[in-house]
Chain A
Amino acid sequence: MKNLQNNNQNQLELLKQLLLEDELRQLKQLASKLSSLEIDFNNSEVIQEKIRPVFDDVLLSNLSQKDSKTIDILASYLASVIATSTNQDIDKLSHALQAVISPAISSEIENNKDKMIDALYPIMGGMISKYVTQSIKEMMESINQKIEDGLSFDRYKRKLKSKFTGVSEVELLLEESSDANIESIIVIHKETGLMIAEAHQENKELDDAVMVASMASAIKDFVNDWIQNQDEEMASEVQILSYGNATLYIESAGSVYMIAFMDAEPDYEQRKEINQFFAKVLKRYSKLFQKFEGDMSHQDIPDVEKELFAFINQQTNTTTYPNTQQEHKNNIAKYILYLFIFGLIGYIGVNLYKAYSLYGIEKAIKQEINTTVTLEEKDSYIKVDGYITDISKYDKIESIIHKYSTKSIINNLHIPIKDIYSKINDINQTIPQQLSSTQHEIEKLQKLYNDLQAQNQKISGQLLDATKQINIQKSTLADMIKKNEKIKYIVNIKQNILSDLSSMFASNHYYNQDGSLDFHIKNLFLPNSVMYDKDKIVQIQSDYKKYIMILFSDKIRVSIIKSIVIEGYTDSSGSYTKNIELSAKRAQNIKEYLLGLPISKKYHIDKVMISKGMGSKNPIMKDGLEDKNASRRIKIRFELDNSKIAKQLKRVDI
């Protein structure tokens, strides 16, 4: 029984498996998921991870809509979050904020520059000032140290210079320590702007010095023109051109100028140095510079370039290794001694000279006006002591002193008082007389002025009339000149035509100086034939066109051409009458051909062209014999109508 029960149960299980297989599998999966959810639900990290995207979306949406509640909540936490993060990991925080803050600042600066400057200046300005002040302080300390430590001739020289010029020693030292670096020098011919010589520091070569020289020359001319246009009295030339850190120092003299390309503006001392060098080069190669005509193979050019190069190198070395003061230190005692002796000799010399000069003046006064005075020279004046008997000597003494010295005079001379009273009386008497005479002069001048005024008005009127007259004359004269030119042209019209034809046919051997074209082309016509060779007529056609263009080039010429004559010729064979007939037909055939050309139609040549038979007249000779093939030819010439020329002249004259 028990076995049966077990067996039934097994079968039931089997049946369940068979019938509910899918449901059981799904049940297992659900159980597994539920178990997993239970685990996640107990794990806060997993829950946070799951809901964070939703929270982020909500937060971003609220922020983008500027939800005030969200902003208030975030604001209260933001400061403490930043403070905490700063303590924990500054780099991480900086990195995170950089992405947001940098574009925000850029945008703010772009849109509100002035506001940003106002806001940043108290912080940045103070900071910059602090660092700049600190740097200057350090530099000044270093310079002061140098001054204190330096025991050289240069130091004494600087001290003296400071004393005389009033510029502080520190400024002078600053000036000395800031020499600009010369990178290139080019010498340019002033008139043409062409480069004569060039030299550069290593690796500082100009790309195309020739072009740079010309361009610099043009810019210099442009600036000079502009400056001189602004102020016509100003004749000085541009000396410095600057762009960024680059400076072109231009020194001009004689027929050339030199441009030093520098990395900063040169100071007074450096300019002086460059100018002295330039003067030396100019003097040494003056012949080359004065006669320069673009010949770059001149033997002196390499020497000039060597000198330029040496100068650049010398200043580079001086700039790079400025400390040559050690050498000077060794000679301090010698310099001071020289200076002392020089000063002493100078002092004695000046005093001796002064004493000698004063003695000379005293002697001159004694000789000229027989008065003994004593002179004493001070810095700005000469003091005169002594007695004079006559007041007139007072002025004489002053004029003698001024011959020798330009200093003012302090007069300590004793003059007899009675002389002064007498002088005053004299003056009192003469003043009323002079006053009356002056009054009279003024009245005379007033009258003269009135007369002149009246005359002036009269002359102005006359001048106006004269100007009108002159303008009329001028216009008449202009008409006359115009007429005269036209008359001259008409009178010389034949010469003008011949001259134009000569220029046009200068190298054409068919052209004759009488203005005709004699086409002695070999076998233009065969013996006894009146028909021309079609290939050879091409030459005639081409020259004929040019001939007509000149003859009919203006209205006057068109009006005075009487005829274009086509002359036909034969060789000397045959009878006279036959030859006349043959040559006339040849001329007629050529005439017909030429009248068929467009140019003849354009100028209506048919009205003036005629043909003539000339027979065997003027045969073509070669080596003493007739060249019969060339004699069979045609000739073109023109005739002018003298009556029409006269008419043209008459018309101009009217």
Chain B
Amino acid sequence: MIRKKILLIGDFGVGKTSLIRRYIDNTFSDNYLTTIGVKISKKRLSIDTIECEILIWDIEGATPIKKIPHSYFKGASGAIFVCDVSRGQTIDDLYEHINSFLIVNPDAKYVIAYNKIDMLSNQQKESLKIKLSGNEFMTSAKNDENVKNLFETLAKEMIL
């Protein structure tokens, strides 16, 4: 069995914790998130017959005052960067998050979740969809849209 650490990174309130709730098997209480800035959850899955277990570090959203502690980045094999499509600033901040992460883990894999897609009209969705590349997903934790796909694409990238 392969065990890997992945991170969930994004601005405050973009829906990281909701994405995890949709997906995981086991988790620590949410209290840890406000106490030490990270909450850890676990998911077992099978990628092309390879059994693996991913430990998801849900890192508390950054705010202008509170930056993400980089010691949590260490040793991550992958990351999911999350933004809120209804808040443009959270999309603009993705670049900084990705950059900070890749400085610590240059060989790690990552995917991007354009979350809260349920808040867009069909036309807006279509125009966003054509701009997305292979590692970018339109997700909705509320409607369980693309959540599994998001995590499993990253797991495949890391394992295979």
- Which A residues contact B (CB, under 8 angstroms)? 189-195, 208, 210-211, 214-215, 218-219, 221-222, 224-225, 294-297, 504, 546, 549
Contacts and interface: CB of A to CB of B under 8 A. Distances in A.
B114 to A, nearest CB: 18
Given A210-B3, A215-B40, A546 B71 contact: no
B57 A191 contact: no
A194 B28 contact: no
Contacts of A208: 26, 42
Given A210-B53, A215-B32, A218-B36, A194 B5 contact: yes
Contact of A225 (B1, B40, B57, B71): B71
Interface string B66-96: 0001011011110000000000000000000
8 contacts: A192-B76, A194-B5, A195-B3, A211-B55, A222-B36, A224-B71, A225-B69, A504-B130
A215 B2 contact: no
B127 A549 contact: yes
Contacts of B53: 210, 296
Nearest to A297: B1
Contacts of B1: 296-297
A295 B2 contact: yes
B37 interface: yes
Nearest to A222: B36
Given A218-B38, A295-B2, A211 B28 contact: yes
B4 interface: yes
Contact of A193 (B2, B28, B75, B127): B75
Interface in B121-152: 127, 130
B113 to A, nearest CB: 21
Interface of B: 1-5, 26, 28, 32, 36-38, 40, 42, 53, 55, 57, 69, 71-72, 74-77, 127, 130
A214 B55 contact: yes
Contacts of B55: 193-194, 210-211, 214
Nearest to A219: B36
Question: Which 3 A-B residue pairs are closest in the complex by CB-CB distance?
Answer: A192-B75, A191-B75, A294-B3
Contacts of A214: 5, 40, 55, 57
A296 B3 contact: yes
Contacts of A211: 26, 28, 40, 42, 55
Given A208-B42, A225-B71, 14 more contacts: A192-B75, A192-B76, A194-B3, A211-B42, A214-B40, A214-B57, A218-B32, A218-B40, A221-B74, A294-B4, A296-B1, A296-B3, A297-B1, A549-B130
A211 B39 CA distance: 10
Nearest to A213: B55
B2 A294 contact: yes
A215 B56 CA distance: 11
Contacts of B26: 208, 211
Contacts of B3: 194-195, 210, 294-296
Nearest to A195: B3
Nearest to A224: B71
B5 A192 contact: yes
Contacts of B40: 211, 214-215, 218
Given A210-B53, A219-B36, A296-B1, A191 B130 contact: no
A301 to B, nearest CB: 11
A259 to B, nearest CB: 15
Contacts of A195: 3
A222 B71 CA distance: 8
A639 to B, nearest CB: 24
B150 to A, nearest CB: 20
A296 B51 CA distance: 10
A221 B28 contact: no
Contacts of B75: 189-194
Most-contacted residue by chain B among A195, A215, A294 (CB, 10 A): A294
B37 A222 contact: yes
A4 to B, nearest CB: 115
Contacts of A296: 1-3, 53
Contacts of B36: 218-219, 222
A595 B68 CA distance: 51
A191 B1 CA distance: 19
B5 A193 contact: yes
Most-contacted residue by chain B among A211, A215, A218, A222 (CB, 10 A): A218
Nearest to A215: B40
B32 to A, nearest CB: 7
B145 to A, nearest CB: 23
